[in-house]
Structure 1
Amino acid sequence: MVVLAILGFLVWLAWMYIADVTQTKHAVRRNYPVLGRFRYLFEHLGEFFRQYFFALDREELPFNRAQRTWVYRAAKNLDSTVAFGSTQPMNQPGQVIFLNTLLAPLEGEIHGGDELWFGQGYARIPYLSNSFFNISAMSFGALSAPAITALSHGAGQSGVWLNTGEGGLSPYHLQGGCDIVFQIGTAKYGVRDEHGGLSDEKLAEIAAIEQVRMFEIKLSQGAKPGKGGILPGIKVTDLIATTRGIPAGQDSISPNRHPEINSVDDLLDMIHHVREVSGKPTGIKAVIGHSAWLDDMCQRIRQRGLQYAPDFFTVDSGDGGSGAAPQSLIDNMGLPIRRSLPLLADKLTYYGLRDRVRIIASGKLINPVDVATALCLGADSVNTARGFMFSLGCIQAMQCNRNTCPTGVTTHDTDLQKGLDPTDKAVRVANFARNMRHEVEIIAHSCGVNHPRQFNRSHACIIDARGYPEPMSERYPEVETAAEYR
């Protein structure tokens, strides 16, 4: 009997091992057969034993369990409802409370409105976007080939755009047929000449690809404002090196800023030049710290002409962080999105540029409340990077910079990459995007508007330090356009 029991146990283990390594839905089980199953057991048991442990739903960082669970369920297209009331105190300082209306639109009265033009009247080939929620910049190199492939297909299925990040355009970005925003980083990867400067010839080649809809000049990013991109040499494979135009196996360190931009006028010249060469909408991405340069930029645009304005401004938050960076910059550099976003919106409004420059918000916006809040504060569209990483199966193992990601999202170790099946994960990426849009629309309808792009600061309150709701419109008073710019 003992021998039979042991044999039965071994057969059972062998069956689980084979089942795990051959399935494609769970990267952890595929990379760690049998042992990976314990993760799901502990997650399940944790629901019953949570009162005995300190790491509760809202205490994990940088994203707590409640935030991640919503993304996982949205990506798997599972029911997102919860029971027995909120686990979040309703008097927590900084919490956003949306204001429902008496007469919300009936379902039959809800209409479209998710169309937004970029560069209309200024770029030869303007871009019409049909989604207020899109995939933020993540480079090929920082992310694996299967991850980029899944993002491309998922973006194509759900109608969202995919930002390449500063690492250039790889074949994997194009596979899903999605719209592409090509990011020009400080190292000009993918469009650089032999001296590391911008190559008009390569820029025109990239622009000739129909899927590439816009260009984004990155000035800084949330994880490390004031420092360029960091890709360890262990992650610079031959294909990544070819895509970026750099040697394989060597650390890929971008300059901390564009060497040719030494003034606001230089920045406007570069925006105008990229738009003229490419024929496509061109914007900028930056984390806001000192804000005086925003006034300088807006004033010079008014003096030189609206053709020098960026077609969009992606404002990144100081609490962004999908890339590797020194901890001092991740923790303590750059304004958070709730300060920088309304600041930018108000500056553009004051100078009469709000209709000319679209605002894209980015930085730790992975749940419907985050996205709706950004739209209330002045964003026209919202991007997220880590939200889509979670939809790919990321478990917040914090191994992004070590080439040891257990789910295959940020590693170039082929043994670990095999756990990420692009076909399965593409569906999850698309589900996440669709369910995010749907739930933000639910919030909008409850507030009495037909579409999330109709949000404004009157639709929400923010809990103040005393625990009382303060109207968002009082916390961030709307400004008016100055008389000379009307």
Structure 2
Amino acid sequence: MNFLANFTMTGLEILTTIFIFVVGLTVLAVIVMFIADSSQSRDAIRHNYPVVGRFRELFTRLGEFFRQYFFALDREEMPFNRAERDWVYKSAKGKNNTHPFGSTRNLNLVGCPIFVNCAFPRLDEEATDPPPVEFGPHTPNPYRIESIINISAMSYGSLSKPAIRALSHGAARAGCYLNTGEGGLAPYHLEGGCDVVFQMGTAKYGCRNEDATLNEKNLAEIAARPEVKMIEVKLAQGAKPGKGGILPAAKVTREIAKIRGIPAGKASISPNRHPEIDNMGELLDFIERVRRVSKLPTGFKTVMGAYGWVDDLCDEIEKRGIESAPDFITLDGGDGGTGAAPMSLMDNVGLPLKQALPILTDILERRGLRDRIKIIASGKLVTPAEVAWAYCAGADVVNTARGFMFSIGCIQAMRCHTNNCPTGVTTHKKSLQGGLDPKVKGPRVANYVDKMRRDVAMIAHSCGAPHARALKRFHVRIQQDDGTSVPLDQLLARSRPLAPHEYAKENS
């Protein structure tokens, strides 16, 4: 008993000593922080309120997460609210997406699309699969795509290795294509055996000379891969129109640097535009050069701001002949973008897709080039209603990037550019990639595609259309500020862009 009593007392003494040590260490740390805060002048809050002022930055950071999980309503968050993300998560996991007790969406908001169901919708047995879209009929290797939804441009570098592998395997399983983004062609893009669209950014990663000009030999080698089906020349992207791609130094690993042809550990900043392209003639020259070397359908990606250039492009095509036209235009909305970008560009430059897509389709239709130049729509199209709207507005094919990021686990933590993505989607830290298993996430990519196809078809059938590509502008109405809605075809007829001769006449 005496032994136990002595042992207990000794244990209490040890605990007391540890407690006093921890308290002393805490007091010392507070004193050090107090002196450091009160003697510095970089942060006024910390200077005027030593130690306590440090909590402001902590709470600011934590506030984003608390709002997401505890305070924000299902339809409040930006850029994607919880209801939209949950639809993707459940679809990717193959779960039931039906909901009880009516919609939680405010259908009276200006701009809200309302699809016009018909009195006698299509029976399931009357529905048909969307017809394939053919790209590059004048090339040696035209490409036919059936999928109504495909993976938009996301580079290996912006996304992690397991993320790209999951997308590649999922795309192959779903029968859709994967756009490489501007970071070059990585072996992980090819791993799953899916169709690949190779994107050539302004820095020409993967097919560049040391001075960043086009290396035709490297391009030919990339195009010779059987998985590579088209070449997309990127002029601009949604998050930062007028500025090239940005990959922070922390994400430029040795492997990524080798694939891109740049130094490792140094920030990868692309030029604002292709130095070879400064007018419509040079654009068509460059597209023809790429098409000649690759022997593949070739188009370009851009963001609509000013749109007079579209008529200039059509004028140049008319001079040269129909074969000189780009095989497609990928139109990104100014509200798009998965990568890092300056807020001034992300928030305020470039038309949203809902304005830009009808403008582009109308001009090409008026100039008689709508059938020749296919339109790929991209920009915040992550749910069936948004995709169906894009087909109503005139898209031939729809791409999405962030929808597929959600399908493989993205939680919208807003840490993409820091290399600290908590789900492993946009980080190259091995410690954070463990939960992103391509064998698990690949099937979820395919599930998302399958659910998207089913639900867009369901909207089309409700409107009386046999498939998504048969949707027209009169199939959707747009909510107005007076509480009424207007069919999209009538709404756009009121505000369609004037042809040059109409503008000249009106302002004469």
The CA deviation string for residues 76-133 of structure 1, in whole angstroms up to 9 with x for no partner, is 011111100011122111100000111222111112233111011x111000111011
Alignment partner of 1:131 out of 132, 141, 147: 147
- Residue aligning to 2:441: 425
Matched, 1:79 2:96: yes
**Cα separation, 1, equivalents of 2:131 and 2:407:** 23
* 8 A contact 1:350–1:480 mirrored in 2: no
| CA offset digits 1:122-175 (Å, max 9, x no partner) | 111000111011000000000000000000000000000000000000010000
Q: 1:475 to 1:319 in 2, by over 3 A?
A: same
| Aligned pairs (5 A) from 1:47-126 | 54-120=71-137, 122-126=138-142
Distance 1:254 1:182 in 2: 17
1:256 Cα deviation from its structure 2 partner: 0.5
Question: Does the C-alpha gap of structure 1 residues 128 and 480 become closer, same or farther in structure 2, counting only changes over 3 Å?
Answer: farther
Q: How far apart in 1 are the matches of 2:208 and 2:348?
A: 32
Aligned to 1:38: none
Q: 3-state DSSP class of the match of 1:239?
A: helix
Partner of 1:441: 457
Q: How many Å apart are 1:477 and its aligned residue?
A: 2.4
Instruction: Give the counterpart letter for 2:312 in structure 1.
Output: D
Matched, 1:413 2:424: no
Deviation, structure 1 residue 451: 0.9
Q: Which amino acid in 1 is paired with 2:470? A: Q
Q: Show the 5 A alignment for 1:229-378.
A: 229-378=245-394
Counterpart of 1:287 in structure 2: which amino acid?
Answer: V
Whether the 8 Å contact between 2:359 and 2:497 is mirrored in structure 1 is no
**1:216 Cα shift?**
0.2
Could you tell me which residue of structure 1 aligns to residue 208 of structure 2? 192
Name stretches of at least 5 consecutive residues in structure 1 with no aligned partner.
1-41, 47-52
Q: What's the secondary structure of 1:240's corresponding residue?
A: helix
Alpha-carbon distance in 2 for matches of 1:170, 1:205: 13
Higher mean C-alpha displacement, 146-155 vs 98-107: 98-107
2:399 counterpart of 1:383: yes
Q: Which amino acid aligns with 1:144?
A: S
**Cα deviation, residue 321, structure 1:** 1.9
RCO comparison, higher one (Cα < 8 Å, 6+): 1
- Separation in 2, partners of 1:113, 1:69: 27
Find the residue that maps to 1:359 and give its secondary structure: strand
Distance change in 2, residues 1:106/1:480 (3 Å): farther
Provide the C-alpha distance between the structure 2 equivalents of 1:435 and 1:469, rounded to a whole number of angstroms: 28
In the alignment, is the contact (CA less than 8 A) between 2:168 and 2:194 conserved in 1? yes
Structure 1 residues 242 and 480, CA, compared in 2 at 3 Å: closer, same or farther?
Answer: closer
SS for the counterpart of 2:196 is strand
Question: Residues of 1 paired with 2:482 and 2:73: CA distance?
Answer: 24
CA contact 2:284–2:324 (8 Å) conserved in 1: yes
Question: 1:261–1:267: 8 Å Cα contact kept in structure 2?
Answer: yes
Distance 2:105 2:187 in 1: 44
How far apart are residue 480 of structure 1 and its match? 12
Q: Which residue of 1 aligns with 2:4?
A: none
Secondary structure (helix, strand or coil) at the match of 1:246 reads coil
Q: Is the 8 A contact 1:349 1:480 kept in 2?
A: no
Alignment of 1:7-22 (within 5 A): none
2:30 corresponds to: none
What does 1:127-166 correspond to in 2, within 5 Å?
127-166=143-182
3-state SS in 2 of match to 1:476: helix
Aligned length: 434
Structure 2 spans left out of the alignment, 5+ residues = 1-64, 502-508
Secondary structure at 2:114's aligned position in 1? Answer: strand
User: d(CA) in 2 for partners of 1:101 and 1:66?
Assistant: 27
Distance across 2 between alignment mates of 1:96 and 1:467: 13
Q: What is the CA deviation profile of residues 357-413 of structure 1, one whole-angstrom value per residue up to 9, with x for unaligned ones? A: 110100111000000001101101110000000001000000000000000000000
Residue 54 of structure 1 deviates from its aligned partner by: 4.3
Separation in 2 of the partners of 1:275 and 1:210? 16
Q: CA deviation at 1:272?
A: 1.1
- The answer for the alignment partner of 1:175 in structure 2 is 191
Q: CA deviation at 1:307?
A: 1.4
TM-score (norm 2): 0.83
Matched residues in 2 for 1:435 and 1:395: separation? Answer: 20
* Alignment-mate amino acid for residue 302 of structure 1: E
* C-alpha distance in structure 1 between counterparts of 2:332 and 2:107, whole Å: 28
TM-score computed with the length of structure 1 as normaliser: 0.87
> Which residue matches 1:404?
420
Specify the alignment match of 2:38 in structure 1.
Answer: none
Runs of 4+ that moved beyond 4 A: 478-482
What is the match of residue 504 of structure 2?
none
Cα distance between partner residues in 2 of 1:100 and 1:153 = 36
Asked whether the equivalents of residues 392 and 425 of structure 1 are also in contact (C-alpha less than 8 Å), the reply is yes
Cα distance in 2 for partners of 1:430, 1:88 equals: 27
Contact (CA 8 Å) 1:272, 1:307: kept in 2 or not?
Answer: no
Write the deviation string for residues 159-214 of structure 1: whole angstroms up to 9, x where unpaired: 00000000000010000000000000000001111221011111110110010000
Residue in structure 2 matched with residue 19 of structure 1 by the alignment: none
Partner of 1:202: 218
Amino acid across the alignment from 2:358: P
2:165/2:189 contact within 8 Å kept: yes
SS in 2 for 1:266: helix
Tell me whether 1:451 sits opposite 2:457 in the alignment: no
